[in-house]
Structure 1
Amino acid sequence: MKPLQKLLILLFCFILASNHKEASAQTIYTVTGLVTDARTGEPVPFASVALVGRRVGSLTDERGRYTISAKILTDSIAVSSLGYVTQRQFIDRERTTQAVDIKLISGGASLQEVTVRAGENPAFRVLRQVRKNRVINDRKRLLAYESDNYVKTQVALSHVSDRMRRNPLIKRINESLSKHDSIIDSEGHRLLPILVSESVSRYYYRDNPQRKREDVRKTRIKGVAVDDAGLSSQLLGGTNLVSQNFYDNYIPILGKDFASPIGDNWKNWYEFFLADTTQIGDHICYEIQFDPKRPEDLVFTGKAWIDTTTFALCQIETHIGNGANLNYVRRLTIEQELEPTMDTTTGSSGMAGWLPTKIRLLADLTGVGKQSLGLRAEVTLRSSNIVVNKPHPMLFYEQPIEPSDTVATANEAYWHAVQGSLAGADSLNKDDLKAREIIDKLRAVPAVKTAEGIGQVLVTGFYKLGGIDLGPYPYLFAVNTVEGLRTRIGFKTNDDFSRNWIFRAYLAYGTYDRQFKYGGEVNYLFSRQHWTLAGVKVANDLERLGLTPELIGGNRIFYALSRFGRYRGAYRSMQKELFFRTEPVRGILLTATLGSRTFDPIFPFHYRIDPDMGDLSPLKSTIFDAFWSIEARLARKEKYIMDGNDRITLGTKRAPVLTIRYTRGLKSLGGDFNYDRLTLRAQQSLRLGPLGRMTYLLSAGFTPSTLPAPLLFPHIGNPTPLLTNNTFNRMQFYEFVSDRFVAIHIQHKFEGLLFNRLPGIRKLNWRLVANIDALWGSQSKENQDVETFKPLPGGMKPIHFGTLDGAKPYLEVGYGIDNIFKLVRIQAIHRLTYLNGGPNGIPISPFALKASASINF
């Protein structure tokens, strides 16, 4: 299961649901008071008074008086004014009206001189100094750092329309909840909580070489459709969601790159206003407000507070507006508070860079349409006990791949201590405790349990039944010209069955060929830390030449759809494999395989047993291949989490993934041929800032042996109307076969680079995409001589495989519009070479429009 799938299940559970009934009245809380100078007693006019943790506040009038009205209170207010120390004062969250007077103490601090050039925005000088002093203030200057982290995550359904309230599911939910089961946010929206979690961890970072480790010490989770505390603690218990560094030029959020307001390109993206100087903690800061020059761009609006002496970022509040070219996001807020760290390694106790000590991320997500159901997620992180520039040995960072079994063990005394120290004011408050009670009631509703099961099947493809997962559902049915109606049932075991033994099996049947197909696999997992397992698998099934799951890179949907329609290149195959896989060093995965496979075509195909005899050679159609192979996969900085017995990759953060495999076929193992085969594969995603994102897949293969075409490299064509990445979308199935090749698939997403600047189009949030697919390949004369053109018994003409000219590449280019209705992508594909007609008389159309659908932010 992918990392975001757990949260997606939460949406599926209530996709037709809504919140409870509207409140008949909303309580308004009022705080009034007087702000005065502590020494003279004189009123302080125009002082800023705000609720701590909320963007609700006001200014004092000429007499120093203020009034704050809010739908919900925090536990304190903060008062600040130029020349005074910021003062915080406790307030009673339960009282509807209260008077709180504040006495401010003179700060006595002097500011650095600011020189403003004629005609220049005064904020520019401050921002230039921020970039100049980055080498001193950025956390990246640290050799290493570590900290204790407290993370609280809350997820709730929001923005429920009247139409949704009439849904039968929500009616059952309303019947189970009382009118007191209500949580209202600071903006007056009624929320239905579905997840509340707390986690404590120790985070370690080392630079040069970069290594990270996070030990999740304790977690407690209460949620709907969240059963696996181990997986949830890995997803929700660390710094993965809240690790943005605003000193970087671009901030990655939801798979997009947002321009930083203090990055190198700040002047190109933002309008700035130097508002005032104020005190943040112990620091006198410039307050700089920033707004996007173009609201459709991937940028922020908000405020930054810059220290007046070091020009370090002390605090920042950023918001993403509704105009940004971003799907399914009503609002997204990131708030950070940073503090300088002290380097005690040299005994000088000097400043060593600034680290965030408090981070808050709030996201309001929505579906398609203005009236769709919303999902609100809020993550709060607090860091303390920070130690810098004391790196651990390299082996220390090779942490266990999953937390220990005691992480989720209940321990109220532990949490009481955490709330009194590390968590502080961010520990579970009154609303959080109420949310846990509501979640318990929701999980007891039978309709909710049913919705959980449906959501699990839709998202994962499997239905969990105790220790067995039934599925996957995309393979359940297919209709094609060989099998007729194909039905398939399958299962796999999960960690409830065993944490070491893993069983997989399926059975399929075709109504036309009236044959059973089957497959089975048994694995034993020796080590999760070094991902060491051994297994054996057997499969007897109908396959299509060039479209095995291994060749298409595990694209489950494309593989399932390839079983529909006219089934060209079909063959029956019996595969047997014994394999061993291990990761001795993090990032290097080794696999050794011993196996065999049969090729029994049901399309007209024969090959020459003795090519030197030409047309006099005996012919044969079947192939028995026996082989061994060894594969190395190198993925630097790749991070994993564990979901039961499955290991899920979180990606490599821009580092390439390299795979090299050597295969040796042997007659001594019972095969028909001796041969050598070498294949290489590299793939990577590149962030190009304002130019968008580029992904590429580079593959190559070579075999010096003389073999029939099915044992060479049939290239993956895709004549279907479905657009599929990393295939040749204007090539027929098995149109070309090579014994040596190099292929490159490049896809670039320009995001809103062009369309955001076109009047009338930019409001549609369309995105420009482009691709180029190229293939250089050839066949030796010896391999071409293996193919026969001699009519088969009965006069049938044999299938012919095309051959590429080594000096002339096969080339496709494409361009299109993505994000139509937030789902659809339409792409034009042009085939630029080999236009004279394909093998076997199949006409070639050099142009096609293809479509695909995907959910992307």
Structure 2
Amino acid sequence: MKPLQKLLTLFFFLILFSLVRETSAQTIYTVTGLITDARTGEPVPFASVALVGRRVGTLTDERGRYVLNAKILSDSIAVSSLGYVTQRQFIDRERQTQAVDLKLVAGGTSLQEVTVHAGENPAFRVLRQVRKNRVINDRKRLVAYETDNYVKTQIALSHVSERMRRNPLIKRINESLSKQDSIVDSDGNRLLPILVSESVSHYYFRDSPQRKREDVLKTRIKGVAVDDAGLSSQLLGGTNLVSQNFYDNYIPILGKDFASPIGDNWKNWYEFFLADTTQIGDHTCYEIQFDPKRPEDLVFTGKAWIDTTTFALCQIETHVGKGANLNYVRALTIEQELEPTIDTTNSSGTAGWLPTTIRLTADLTGVGKQSLGLRAEVTLRSSNVIVNKPHPLTFYEQPLEPSDTVATANDAYWHTVQGTLAGSDSLSKDDQKARQIIDKLRAVPAVKTAEGIGQVLITGFYKLGGVDLGPYPYLFAVNSVEGLRTRIGFRTNDEFSKNWIFRGYLAYGTLDHQFKYGAEANYLFSRQHWTMLGVRFANDLERLGLTPELIGGNRIFYALSRFGRYRGAYRSEQKELFFRTEPVRGILLTAMLGTRTVDPIFPFQYRSEPDMGDLSPLKSDIFDAYWSIEARLARKEKYIMDGNERITLGTKRAPVLTIRYTKGLKSMGGNFNYDRITLRAQQSLRIGPLGRMTYLLSAGYTPSTLPAPLLFPHIGNPTPLLTNNTFNRMQFYEFVSDRFVAVHIQHKFEGLLFNRIPGIRKLNWRLVANVDALWGSQSKANQDVESFKPLPGGMRPIHFGALDGSKPYMEVGYGIDNIFKIIRIQAIHRLTYLNVGPNNIPVNPFALKASASFNF
């Protein structure tokens, strides 16, 4: 959720309090009329009459008359009947009653012959043709394409309970809103808008190699707790939220993978019904209805319209209901309208189908049936399509680029956009009313206070002009070395400077009575190539094996590690100078020069001259001077700019590789000359219907002779909290290696098994499993560095264990995720090295651990 930190402040209102107001009685709109045959004038009985874009409709009676009642109208109705061309007619969405008569024209397009075999569903033949013709119709066949895009996003609070209405804080907010400040959705739920945005962008795509770029040209946003148009334009103004391709086997939504009704495995997931043929624009289409075989699976309910000539997907409407094993979602709808593209460079003319209109609607909810809801609607319209005219690869190096005037007000510009790009999807009267309500809400003192609290809880920082104070998860800690540790920190943002970035913190322990501090200064040369020069220094207490490098940026685990018994603690003074740049998109290079001290406060000493054996002088402190180079390869990575911070949006399950080489030098004042190389690779994989697997592979090697703190202390986790990518049944620094390969594999079966067990499936539990393995060893020379002589005072030193190179350390785990939607309980078994561990610590091979997380 990190990429959405600022926008998630909006969702904080779901937890902090509910914003409601009393409204007048609900208005019912009525549309009546007569449907007749255009040639004969005879009435058309049992014709379908529906509001376009709404799930509201009716049928004509035997005299061709209809009465359609709705709590809210769309801008048009659609009338269809077997043998006639579907016809649409604009209506006045503000009139309470109106009469609309239509004359239907008989359809004259002949259909391809469909052979139906005995016992076979006639829809199967159509679906097989869809998959066969995918290579012709799928947008992925295009060498390149570019479009002008208009995106409208609306977010509102909904589903307010009577208990919420009695909240004293809410009553004060109600007083600031009039009874006319009322907006309802198509299901009659009252909505309180908290964000309305419009954006215009130009989108570029190129295949082989795949590259994307999006230039956000203009954005206007009106929202509660949203004051950063630059970040919001990248999150809401591009195709990040609505880029689903139903020709793919699985559709990623909210971090889950939904089986596509026209994917390769359509028959395993869905029941189909070939309903009718109908006219969609200029295309005569088969209408195929689909329903899930098991409602608990991650699948859709809906309809698809398939062109009868090309077997291309013309239109699709999909719904996710309450039965799906998905948290916090009351309902989710995706609608797409597609059109064939015209390739002027190709003699055949057509070259694949692209979506011209996409609508996504999601109704989210908290925990409990009476919890407040959140309604989000995103609409995208594409036009001015250009295909198969790729740009040079360097053109795509910046994947998402906001214009310098992206947030500059320009009413004339938006008036033109609404008449061209936006069309019927431009801001309606309800949207205009929503903008007025948001202005009123932002003026309420209680809302301003909630904005500030939400910002702190979601981002960890409190914004004070050009400086952000925090992060607040690091504010307090209690441990056996420092006692009560308090810390205050800050960082500058782009209001302070768009090039200079400063960070710092000061901490104090009540038990050791020592101040700790850290500071960093960066200069950002280029955002496009993410080029910066920086210097940082710190004097703090650290724990062996839990440096940010070794834990891979797991900041929560790093913060929690400062609590409790602080084993393996050492004082460290670190100074670093670094330079970072991304010369080619997806390849981030970092060069670093630095020094650090390791002054253990646990009983430890090593032989400074190991060749002398027991006659060697003993030391405990280490001074390390080094330089390093690192390459991070992240193919297809997406990211956005948040002021002076660059936030990754992930890599679409492509692997992320990191390689680092470090050189320690006595010539720079260090105690040791050494070489060290480390490697990390991580990826998330979809394993068909079996669920999703993630892995982290890490390896390290140093051929040098060094004391244990400069080798590779493996990350144990003896706490009761389950932490991924650690060894949950290993003690802290139980094993140290000078060469190792570690793999952490976690598999989430989603609802694959529990969805099929009566009674259990209603709980929405999910099965999870993990395997963690470590191969490592320590050379004889490095083992000889360790000393077993008692320290002054007779205390025995800490002993670091070494792994047998022929015998891996292994753990397996299994458990239940999604208990009460947030809790995970997992059993962990340690399979090897079951004897008494180093320092005479007994080994318990089994443990139950728990964690909490927010997942859809």
Name the counterpart of 1:291: 291
8 Å CA contact 1:605–1:621 kept in 2: the answer is yes
What are the superposed Cα offsets for residues 345-385 of structure 1, whole Å, 9 maximum, x if unpaired?
13x35221111100000000011111111111000011111
* Count of residues in correspondence between the two structures: 856
Q: TM-score, normalised by structure 1?
A: 0.99
Deviation, 1:795, is: 1.2
Corresponding residue SS for 2:58: strand
Name the counterpart of 2:697: 698
Name the counterpart of 1:215: 215
Name the counterpart of 1:665: 664
What are the superposed Cα offsets for residues 480-525 of structure 1, whole Å, 9 maximum, x if unpaired?
1111111111111111111111111111111111111111111111
The one-letter amino acid paired with 2:372 is: L
Q: 2 CA distance for matches of 1:401 and 1:248?
A: 24
Name the counterpart of 2:608: 609
Corresponding residue SS for 2:440: helix
8 Å CA contact 1:123–1:272 kept in 2: the answer is yes
Residues 732-743 of structure 1: pairs in structure 2 closer than 5 A: 732-743=731-742
8 Å CA contact 1:19–1:190 kept in 2: the answer is no
Name the counterpart of 1:418: 417
Corresponding residue SS for 1:371: coil
8 Å CA contact 1:257–1:689 kept in 2: the answer is no
Name the counterpart of 2:767: 768
Deviation, 1:82, is: 2.5
What are the superposed Cα offsets for residues 596-640 of structure 1, whole Å, 9 maximum, x if unpaired?
000111111000111121111111111000011111111111111
Corresponding residue SS for 1:233: helix
Q: TM-score, normalised by structure 2?
A: 0.99
Name the counterpart of 1:12: 12
Corresponding residue SS for 2:261: coil
Corresponding residue SS for 2:436: helix
Name the counterpart of 2:551: 552
Q: 1 CA distance for matches of 2:686 and 2:560?
A: 31
Name the counterpart of 2:582: 583
Of 121-130 and 734-743, more deviation after overlay is shown by 121-130
Deviation, 1:60, is: 1.5
What are the superposed Cα offsets for residues 398-418 of structure 1, whole Å, 9 maximum, x if unpaired?
237541320111111111011
Residues 330-479 of structure 1: pairs in structure 2 closer than 5 A: 330-346=330-346, 348=347, 350-399=349-398, 402-479=401-478
Deviation, 1:12, is: 1.3
Q: 1 CA distance for matches of 2:600 and 2:6?
A: 42
8 Å CA contact 2:29–2:96 kept in 1: the answer is yes
Corresponding residue SS for 1:770: strand
Residues 485-496 of structure 1: pairs in structure 2 closer than 5 A: 485-496=484-495
The one-letter amino acid paired with 2:260 is: S
Name stretches of at least 5 consecutive residues in structure 1 with no aligned partner.
none
Q: 2 CA distance for matches of 1:95 and 1:722?
A: 59
What are the superposed Cα offsets for residues 796-852 of structure 1, whole Å, 9 maximum, x if unpaired?
111100000000000011110000000000000000001111111111100000000
Of 396-405 and 748-757, more deviation after overlay is shown by 396-405
Of 530-539 and 106-115, more deviation after overlay is shown by 106-115
Corresponding residue SS for 1:456: helix
The one-letter amino acid paired with 1:484 is: G
8 Å CA contact 2:23–2:181 kept in 1: the answer is no
8 Å CA contact 2:14–2:373 kept in 1: the answer is no
Q: 2 CA distance for matches of 1:312 and 1:14?
A: 41
8 Å CA contact 1:18–1:161 kept in 2: the answer is no
What are the superposed Cα offsets for residues 734-788 of structure 1, whole Å, 9 maximum, x if unpaired?
0000001111011111100111111111111000001111111111101100001
Q: 1 CA distance for matches of 2:727 and 2:64?
A: 72
Name the counterpart of 1:270: 270
8 Å CA contact 1:480–1:565 kept in 2: the answer is yes
Q: 1 CA distance for matches of 2:554 and 2:382?
A: 40
Deviation, 1:685, is: 0.8
Name the counterpart of 2:134: 134
Q: 1 CA distance for matches of 2:855 and 2:75?
A: 38
Corresponding residue SS for 1:263: coil
Deviation, 1:24, is: 4.6
Of 62-71 and 396-405, more deviation after overlay is shown by 396-405
The one-letter amino acid paired with 1:235 is: L
8 Å CA contact 2:215–2:403 kept in 1: the answer is no
8 Å CA contact 1:470–1:492 kept in 2: the answer is yes
The one-letter amino acid paired with 2:432 is: L
Name the counterpart of 1:201: 201
Of 132-141 and 414-423, more deviation after overlay is shown by 132-141
Name the counterpart of 1:87: 87
8 Å CA contact 1:545–1:569 kept in 2: the answer is yes
Corresponding residue SS for 1:568: coil
8 Å CA contact 1:401–1:528 kept in 2: the answer is no
Deviation, 1:391, is: 1.2
Corresponding residue SS for 1:503: strand
Name the counterpart of 1:257: 257
8 Å CA contact 1:401–1:529 kept in 2: the answer is no
Deviation, 1:299, is: 0.4
Q: 1 CA distance for matches of 2:674 and 2:236?
A: 49
The one-letter amino acid paired with 1:547 is: L
The one-letter amino acid paired with 2:271 is: E
Q: 1 CA distance for matches of 2:400 and 2:429?
A: 35
8 Å CA contact 1:624–1:672 kept in 2: the answer is yes
8 Å CA contact 2:50–2:78 kept in 1: the answer is yes
Corresponding residue SS for 2:550: coil
> Does residue 579 of structure 2 align to residue 595 of structure 1?
no
RMSD after superposition: 1.1
Q: 2 CA distance for matches of 1:41 and 1:662?
A: 83
Corresponding residue SS for 1:217: strand
Q: 2 CA distance for matches of 1:827 and 1:400?
A: 40
The one-letter amino acid paired with 1:360 is: R
Q: 2 CA distance for matches of 1:623 and 1:5?
A: 40
Name the counterpart of 2:157: 157
What are the superposed Cα offsets for residues 247-279 of structure 1, whole Å, 9 maximum, x if unpaired?
111111111111111111111111111111111
Name the counterpart of 1:512: 511
The one-letter amino acid paired with 1:778 is: S
Name stretches of at least 5 consecutive residues in structure 2 with no aligned partner.
none
Corresponding residue SS for 2:549: coil
8 Å CA contact 1:491–1:505 kept in 2: the answer is yes
Deviation, 1:57, is: 1.4
8 Å CA contact 2:22–2:174 kept in 1: the answer is no
Q: 1 CA distance for matches of 2:403 and 2:265?
A: 44
> Does residue 106 of structure 2 align to residue 119 of structure 1?
no
Q: 1 CA distance for matches of 2:358 and 2:90?
A: 22
Deviation, 1:392, is: 1.4
The one-letter amino acid paired with 1:174 is: N
Tell me: CA distance 1:250–1:14, structure 2 relative to 1, closer, same or farther (3 Å).
closer
Deviation, 1:73, is: 1.3
Deviation, 1:551, is: 1.5
Corresponding residue SS for 1:530: coil
Q: 2 CA distance for matches of 1:291 and 1:421?
A: 37
Identical aligned pairs, as a percentage? 88
Q: 1 CA distance for matches of 2:549 and 2:386?
A: 46
Of 839-848 and 548-557, more deviation after overlay is shown by 548-557
Corresponding residue SS for 2:431: helix
Deviation, 1:45, is: 1.7
Q: 2 CA distance for matches of 1:816 and 1:97?
A: 57
Q: 1 CA distance for matches of 2:380 and 2:183?
A: 22
Q: 2 CA distance for matches of 1:398 and 1:797?
A: 57
Deviation, 1:560, is: 1.1
Name the counterpart of 2:499: 500
8 Å CA contact 1:222–1:439 kept in 2: the answer is yes
Deviation, 1:19, is: 4.2
Q: 2 CA distance for matches of 1:700 and 1:18?
A: 49
Residues 37-48 of structure 1: pairs in structure 2 closer than 5 A: 37-48=37-48
Q: 1 CA distance for matches of 2:155 and 2:635?
A: 33
Tell me: CA distance 1:16–1:170, structure 2 relative to 1, closer, same or farther (3 Å).
farther
8 Å CA contact 1:830–1:846 kept in 2: the answer is yes
8 Å CA contact 2:503–2:521 kept in 1: the answer is yes
Q: 1 CA distance for matches of 2:241 and 2:555?
A: 28
Corresponding residue SS for 2:2: coil
Name the counterpart of 1:630: 629
Q: 2 CA distance for matches of 1:73 and 1:557?
A: 48
Q: 2 CA distance for matches of 1:20 and 1:576?
A: 53
The one-letter amino acid paired with 2:175 is: E
Q: 2 CA distance for matches of 1:580 and 1:12?
A: 37
